[in-house]
Chains A and B, each alone.
Chain A
Amino acid sequence: MPKGATTVRALAWAIALQCSAAFAWAATPAENFPRMANGKPDLSGHWSNPYTPDMAVQGKVLDPATRKPLELSRAPLPDAKASAAGSAARTLDLPYTDWGLKHWKSYDPVNDGDYAGSCLPFGMSRNINSPHGVQFVHNPASIAMLFEQNTWFHWVPLAGQKWPEDIPPSWNGVSTGHWDGDMLVVETTGFNGYTRLDTAGHPHSRQLKLTNTFRRIDARTMEHTVIVHDPKTYTRDWMNVRTWKLKPAADVVMEYSCEENNLGNLFSGAIKPWKPPENEDEE
């Protein structure tokens, strides 16, 4: 083979290898987040979760199958109680069942008792929606969610541990987690039905199943999704998608005692104390 042809061939190979390497680099996302010993992403950290007082904001209620906004009537509800968050009047903003709509229209924490103002547990959904951060403490067997909101915690087993089948219903429910590739999937059931999904007061029943997913995007970013499945309250499942950011290292999770001031407000009557419903079957 002439010397020149060999040189050209070598050059072609070199270019091909360079192109191949460049293509591989471009096709592989820069993964700069830590992984645990079992190879799964380590979700540990103090996360800034966007404050979500209203999960039904237009455009944010998605079809879990397509991640496209659901078409919702958003018709006014003139017979609904005053808004519990903001000044906008309540509308048909979610796919309510009759039971769900009744509980959406009638929510009135000012006059009927405010469970959040009474410093009772907000519930899994509203904890995640709160404006304060959440510290994740993660190992292969479990993840602990340390919510700054009212210094609450939520523990999620990841290695097949089982909750007692007869564990009583609770404010925050009980969760189990598993991996779908690099995405952590947390399923929560067992709610007592006393809570609301958000500050606005979107309802749920004891049939609620929350599916929260957590997927690290890069060193500082995580995608969080939540699917609301509650056939007693909603005619179909719906979804929110949000972006979480790691807080700066100096920003540490702090104590938060709701009772400090609210006890006085409860005693003075400024906040009406919450009482459990007389007819539990209604919840």
Chain B
Amino acid sequence: MKNKSLLRGICLLACTLSGAGAAFAHHSTAAEFDSTKPVTFTGTVQKVMWMNPHIYTHIEVKQPDGATFVYHVEGGPPNSLFRQGWRKDTLKVGAVVTVSGWRAKNPDSPNVGQATISAADGKKLFSGDGPAKAAE
């Protein structure tokens, strides 16, 4: 049951992230994210920032040197996600996920956009064209 709940959370996160992948956003994706800087990482969900116009999921990743880095993965607009059944606590803190996306143009930014997500076992849960709506 717990696993089912986790899977549902991950699936919903996939939908959430698909909002980040929407071609149209009222702040341009091209403005913030760099398609030439793809990034893939596996980490644990640290927290979900339930905010407009996009939610951000903080994912903590262990680096080769043992340090940790927290990525901020941009998602869809919270009102649209709410209507799809998503809640702030649907994806539990500690869930293990793998994310692929674009790093921000600003090298100091932890933000990741245009993201896709997979379960920790490698099963791809999100193909990049999910149903979540754009923020504008």
User: Which residues does A use to contact B, with CB under 8 Å?
Assistant: 51, 53, 82, 84-87, 109-110, 114, 116-117, 122, 126, 130-132, 148-149, 199, 251, 254, 256-262, 265, 268-272
What are the residues of chain B within 8 A of A130 when measuring CB–CB? 136
Distance in angstroms between the alpha carbons of A269 and B111 in the assembled complex:
12
User: Cβ of A199 and Cβ of B24 under 8 Å apart?
Assistant: yes
| Cα distance, A84 to B29, chains bound together (Å) | 9
Q: Per-position contact with A for B113-136: 1 when CB-CB < 8 Å, else 0?
A: 000000000000000000001111
A272 lies within 8 A of B30 (CB)? no
Q: How far is the CB of B98 from chain A (nearest CB, A)?
A: 24
B52 interface contact, C-beta 8 A: yes
Given the interface contacts A268-B106, A270-B32, does A85 sit within 8 Å of B79 by beta carbon?
A: no
Interface size counted on chain B using CB atoms at 8 A? 28
In the complex, given contacts A85-B23, A131-B80, A199-B136, what are 17 additional A-B residue pairs having Cβ atoms less than 8 angstroms apart? Answer: A87-B23, A117-B26, A122-B136, A130-B136, A132-B79, A132-B133, A199-B24, A254-B79, A256-B77, A257-B51, A261-B52, A261-B53, A262-B53, A265-B27, A265-B32, A271-B31, A272-B31
Asked if A86 meets B23 with Cβ closer than 8 Å, knowing A51-B133, A270-B106, the reply is yes
> B residues touching A (Cβ–Cβ < 8 Å)?
23-24, 26-28, 30-32, 49, 51-54, 56, 77, 79-80, 82-83, 104-106, 109, 111, 133-136
User: Is A110's CB under 8 angstroms from B28's CB?
Assistant: yes
CB distance from B55 to the nearest CB of A (A): 8
Q: Is the CB of B28 within 8 A of A114?
A: yes
Asked whether, in the complex, the Cβ of B134 is within 8 Å of the Cβ of A260, the reply is: no
CB distance from B56 to the nearest CB of A (A): 7
Contact B28 A260 (CB under 8 A): no
| A271 touches which of B23, B27, B80 (Cβ 8 Å) | B27
CB distance from A161 to the nearest CB of B (A): 31
Contacting residues, chain B, for A272 (C-beta < 8 A): 31
With A and B bound together, what is the CA distance between A272 and B109 in angstroms?
A: 15
Q: Which residue of A lies closest to B133 (CB)?
A: A131
Complex interface: chain B residues within 8 A of A114 (CB): 26-28, 31
- Distance in angstroms from A247 CB to nearest chain B CB is 9
**A270 close to B104 (CB less than 8 A):** yes
- In the bound complex, residues from chain A placing their C-beta under 8 Å from that of B80 are 131-132
Residue ID in chain A nearest B135 by CB atoms: A131
Instruction: Give the residues in chain A near B106, CB-CB below 8 Å.
Output: 268-270
Interface centre among A130, A132, A148, A261, by most chain B C-beta atoms within 10 angstroms, is A261
